[in-house]
């Protein structure tokens, strides 16, 4: 059977031909790479954008693509806007997000839920332009309709304000000729029909423009510690080393490859199996900046491409939950938590509770505090009557990440990273109480956001369970901070 080439397959083929081959012959080797909330946001944006030009007709999805194309042709006789307008030409198929009538021709509009245009979107639009040209459709303009991140939601959602329409006709025409000149579409079909797996090696294309689902499979021969584990090195440089045969940590040391002091520490700690290293003076200096009682704070947030609440921008981090562990000098702990009611604007209730839970002038901490500080600033701007208290928390906040970011404490288990995901198990290995894998349902921030956003779609019993999962997850985040500080104090006391 002839290989059907769609716009998403074409874009994959541009990224890496082997990806197309694996999709066709061994899809079971791939792993899920897209998060559910990203997919949900994309679907919501796509559906909303259909009405951007006014009333529209929708071509319903159907397994028989010819039927979709026939339905499109019928609608082109009467409708001004057609969503999912479908076209087939030989093995080529595309469904245009919006086909908009423009005088005696049509504008092709590709909808994206992102806030800016990337090269691959232009390739996507150019492929559609090519298919429509082959189908003798008079395309007058090629546009990308994407989210405008300066939009602020008012009482009513303003679709014209939410989106911005960019004219990409000239680029689409240029790319159209590239498709023809390179014989790209035939080449993709031939590649996919090769009987044996192509011998393509890993490269920059494995992550750009999208992380490939076959990374684990294609990188299966890499050693446990390789050049790809090096922290804060550009991907381009990693692949340069890799293609020059510098792959393992041993290779890096023996080749004298140019790495910085922190990367050298990362590599040597593994190769020489070094014990943990500390700078007790610096740890003490950091600890002396804290004062009891200490308020360990962590927010959970979610983002909406289409803002539902007044005053919100697209993709703004909207806090819906926090956990707060209060640590006293004698070691006593108190725990406070807030989790908004599902389906409501959580910001006001959360801000009011937070300023009740954290008194003015006290010392607070966060791990990677720039996130918590941004949330506090947004809340302060939204609720001027609470801004004094919210900014007081902001101004008295300390970052527990600093001793690890500056490597006052370094363990080989941190693998050059100072993210809590690496630091916590390095400080407290094999502690089941601190193991996020032991939690039910919610194990990380993305799952927490997705659970909160999805809660409205569940039964009361399920919601009760989801709320419990969220409370346990966020509670562990701040308990982890208590344990991080405990370890720093232990080290400081070693002197």
**Least spacing, CB of residue 20 vs ligand SF4, in Å:** 9
Among residues 16 and 94, whose Cβ is nearest to ligand SF4?
A: 16
Residues that bind ligand SF4 (CB under 6 A): 16, 18-19, 22, 200, 202, 205-206, 212, 214-215, 218
Q: Residues 63, 86: contact at Cβ < 8 Å?
A: no
Sign of the alpha-carbon torsion through 204, 207, 212, 216: positive
Q: Residues 37, 449: contact at Cβ < 8 Å?
A: yes
Among residues 33 and 344, whose Cβ is nearest to ligand SF4?
A: 33
**Least spacing, CB of residue 31 vs ligand SF4, in Å:** 10
Among residues 199 and 460, whose Cβ is nearest to ligand SF4?
A: 199
Among residues 172 and 206, whose Cβ is nearest to ligand SF4?
A: 206
**Least spacing, CB of residue 16 vs ligand SF4, in Å:** 3
Residues 6+ apart with CB under 8 A from 315: 115, 147, 149, 303, 304, 305
Among residues 197 and 334, whose Cβ is nearest to ligand SF4?
A: 197
Residues 6+ apart with CB under 8 A from 231: 262, 263, 266, 415, 416, 417
Q: Which helix (H) or strand (E) holds 238?
A: helix 235-243
**Least spacing, CB of residue 199 vs ligand SF4, in Å:** 10
Alpha carbon of residue 253 to chain centroid: 34
Q: What separation in angstroms does the CA of 313 have from each of 330, 336, 484?
A: 44, 29, 35
Among residues 202 and 488, whose Cβ is nearest to ligand SF4?
A: 202
**Least spacing, CB of residue 91 vs ligand SF4, in Å:** 22
Q: Write down the H helix ranges in 109-219.
A: 119-134, 159-162, 169-182, 184-192, 215-218
Residue 18 β-bridge partners: none
Residues 6+ apart with CB under 8 A from 268: 253, 274
**Least spacing, CB of residue 209 vs ligand SF4, in Å:** 11
Q: How far is 111 from 49, CA to CA, in rounded Å?
A: 7
**Least spacing, CB of residue 242 vs ligand SF4, in Å:** 12
**Least spacing, CB of residue 15 vs ligand SF4, in Å:** 6
Among residues 207 and 334, whose Cβ is nearest to ligand SF4?
A: 207
Residue 319 β-bridge partners: 301
DSSP 3-state of 447: helix
**Least spacing, CB of residue 192 vs ligand SF4, in Å:** 13
Among residues 25 and 313, whose Cβ is nearest to ligand SF4?
A: 25
Among residues 14 and 83, whose Cβ is nearest to ligand SF4?
A: 14
Helices 169-182 and 119-134, packing angle to 10 deg: 70
Q: Write out the two tokens for 469.
A: 């999962």
DSSP 3-state of 3: coil
**Least spacing, CB of residue 257 vs ligand SF4, in Å:** 23
Among residues 122 and 202, whose Cβ is nearest to ligand SF4?
A: 202
Residues 6+ apart with CB under 8 A from 300: 319, 320, 321, 322, 445, 448, 449, 452, 470, 473, 474
């Amino acid at each position: 059977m002839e290989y059907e080439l769609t716009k998403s397959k074409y874009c994959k083929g541009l990224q890496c031909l082997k990806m197309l081959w694996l999709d066709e012959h061994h899809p079971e080797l791939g792993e899920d790479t897209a998060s559910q909330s990203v997919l949900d946001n994309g679907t919501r944006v796509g559906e909303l954008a259909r009405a951007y030009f006014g009333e529209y007709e929708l071509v319903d999805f159907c397994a028989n693509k010819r039927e979709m194309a026939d339905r499109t042709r019928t609608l082109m006789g009467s409708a001004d806007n057609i969503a999912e307008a479908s076209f087939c030409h030989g093995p080529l198929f595309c469904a245009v997000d919006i086909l908009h009538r423009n005088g005696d021709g049509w504008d092709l509009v590709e909808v994206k839920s992102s806030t800016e245009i990337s090269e691959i979107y232009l390739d996507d639009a150019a492929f559609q332009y090519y298919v429509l040209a082959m189908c003798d459709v008079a395309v007058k303009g090629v546009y990308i309709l994407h989210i405008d991140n300066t939009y602020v939601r008012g009482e009513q959602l303003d679709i014209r304000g939410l989106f911005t329409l960019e004219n990409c006709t000239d680029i689409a025409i240029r790319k159209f000729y590239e498709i023809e000149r390179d014989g790209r579409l035939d080449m993709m079909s031939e590649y996919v029909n090769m009987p044996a797996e192509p011998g393509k090696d890993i490269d920059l294309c494995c992550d750009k423009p999208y992380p490939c689902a076959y990374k684990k499979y294609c990188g299966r021969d890499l050693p446990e510690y390789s050049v790809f584990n090096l922290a804060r090195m550009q991907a381009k440089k990693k692949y340069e080393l890799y293609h020059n045969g510098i792959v393992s940590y041993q290779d890096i040391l023996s080749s004298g490859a140019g790495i910085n002091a922190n990367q050298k520490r990362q590599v040597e700690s593994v190769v020489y199996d070094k014990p943990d290293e500390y700078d007790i003076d610096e740890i003490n200096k950091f600890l002396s900046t804290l004062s009891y009682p200490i308020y360990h704070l962590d927010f959970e947030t979610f983002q909406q491409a289409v803002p539902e609440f007044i005053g919100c921008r697209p993709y703004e981090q909207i806090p819906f939950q926090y956990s707060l562990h209060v640590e006293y000098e004698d070691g006593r702990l108190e725990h406070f938590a807030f989790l908004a009611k599902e389906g409501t604007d959580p910001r006001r209730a959360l801000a009011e509770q937070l300023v009740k839970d954290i008194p003015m002038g006290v010392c607070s901490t966060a791990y990677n505090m720039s996130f918590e500080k941004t949330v506090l600033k947004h809340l302060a701007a939204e609720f001027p009557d609470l801004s004094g208290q919210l900014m007081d928390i902001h101004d008295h906040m300390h970052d527990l990440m600093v001793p690890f970011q500056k490597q006052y404490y370094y363990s080989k288990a941190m693998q050059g990273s100072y993210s809590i995901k690496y630091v916590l198990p390095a400080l407290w290995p094999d502690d089941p109480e601190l193991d996020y894998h032991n939690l039910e349902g919610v194990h990380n921030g993305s799952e927490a956001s997705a659970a909160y956003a999805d809660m409205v779609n569940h039964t009361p019993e399920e919601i009760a369970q989801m709320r419990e999962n969220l409370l346990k997850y966020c509670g562990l985040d701040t308990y982890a901070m208590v344990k991080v500080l405990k370890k720093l104090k232990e080290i400081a006391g070693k002197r």
